[in-house]
């Protein structure tokens, strides 16, 4: 068993699977073989077979906390959250070799099952927060937004602000929600609130600049994006947006400076190449423009495969 586990740890999964087959034939009652087979299938992303193996391990030993956790995580990844939840509630196991934290996985399962209070308690425990604090509600809001549940995320962010009107990043999150549905006026208000509460937070200026760009307020957008770049010089987003603003302001030469920087930082970003191509075209540099437009098209085509 230890030799097979060593193969698993080294990533030699096919060899490990053959070894478990031989081990099962030689010692049908060997404890832990099914759990080990389940791990191998889990790492091979064969979730159906992993589930069967963990189920067999639990049939032999219903108190096996590791198999409880791993079957719960497997079912969660398969989208079977209702079946996963009781297993995860029983286990609470931390499996560092697979980077699985029982509390965090349970919180995700509660989230997907719309048990938001339970999810908040689990996330708060995972991050060491007071369960009734504004931070616990804001954390839940962020997780809900990640799950694309903007309605519930908005509710939780507003609850966080009710508890603490000056909590950083709550207005930012609300701004993102409003921006995503095209409510630019509300998004603008939220991003402006964030910059007042949290004036050193670069992403707020980035989103503020994008909102102002969409509203054709180019001078204000340029000012916001310059602030974003000053605070977050390694973020490509503000450079691309500033390039767009400068193009709108009929200043392609300056736009090219920022867009070239964005290309250097992230050569695989399609938008950087596209807008740099526009800047070169507006400057009358047709060969350079064609190079950038072709690079943009190539990246787009590759992303569709």
pLDDT tens-digit series, residues 193-246: 999 999 999 999 999 999 999 999 999 999 999 999 999 999 999 999 999 999
Please state which of the ranges 18-22, 79-83, 177-181 shows the lowest mean pLDDT: 18-22
Q: 59 vs 87, 101, 155, CA distance in Å? A: 13, 24, 42
- Percentage of residues of the chain with pLDDT beyond 90: 80
The reported pTM is 0.85
The confidence score (pLDDT) of residue 186 equals 98
Confidence at residue 32, expressed as pLDDT on a 0 to 100 scale: 83
pLDDT at 240: 98
pLDDT value for 304: 84
Judged against a pLDDT cut of 70, whether residue 27 lies above it is answered with no
pLDDT of residue 6: 83
User: In terms of pLDDT, which residue wins out, 34 or 31?
Assistant: 34
* Residue 23 in this model has a pLDDT that exceeds 80: no
Position 218 scores a pLDDT of: 98
Q: What is the mean pLDDT of residues 72-94?
A: 92
pLDDT higher than 80, residue 29: no
């Amino acid at each position: 068993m230890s030799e097979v586990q060593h193969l698993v740890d080294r990533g030699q999964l096919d060899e490990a699977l053959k070894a478990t087959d031989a081990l099962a034939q030689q010692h049908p009652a060997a404890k832990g073989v099914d759990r080990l087979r389940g791990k191998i299938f889990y790492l091979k992303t064969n979730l159906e077979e992993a589930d069967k193996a963990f189920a067999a391990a639990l049939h032999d030993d219903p108190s096996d906390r590791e198999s409880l956790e791993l079957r719960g995580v497997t079912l969660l990844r398969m989208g079977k959250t209702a079946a996963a939840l009781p297993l995860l509630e029983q286990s609470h196991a931390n499996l560092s070799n697979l980077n699985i934290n029982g509390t965090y996985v349970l919180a995700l399962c509660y989230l997907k099952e719309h048990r938001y209070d339970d999810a908040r308690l689990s996330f708060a425990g995972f991050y060491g927060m007071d369960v009734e604090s504004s931070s616990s509600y804001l954390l839940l809001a962020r997780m809900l937004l990640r799950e694309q549940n903007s309605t519930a995320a908005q509710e939780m962010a507003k609850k966080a602000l009710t508890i603490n009107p000056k909590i950083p990043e709550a207005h930012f999150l609300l701004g993102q929600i409003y921006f995503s549905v095209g409510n630019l006026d509300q998004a603008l208000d939220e991003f402006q609130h964030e910059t007042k509460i949290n004036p050193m937070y670069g992403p707020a200026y980035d989103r503020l600049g994008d909102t102002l760009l969409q509203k054709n307020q180019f001078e204000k957008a340029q000012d916001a994006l310059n602030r974003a770049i000053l605070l977050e010089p390694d973020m490509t987003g503000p450079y691309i947006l500033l390039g767009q603003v400068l193009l709108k302001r009929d200043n392609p030469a300056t736009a090219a400076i920022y867009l070239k920087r964005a290309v250097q930082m992230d050569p695989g970003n399609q938008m950087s190449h596209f807008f740099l191509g526009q800047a070169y075209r507006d400057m009358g540099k047709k060969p350079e423009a064609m190079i950038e437009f072709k690079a943009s098209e190539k990246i787009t085509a590759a992303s569709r495969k």
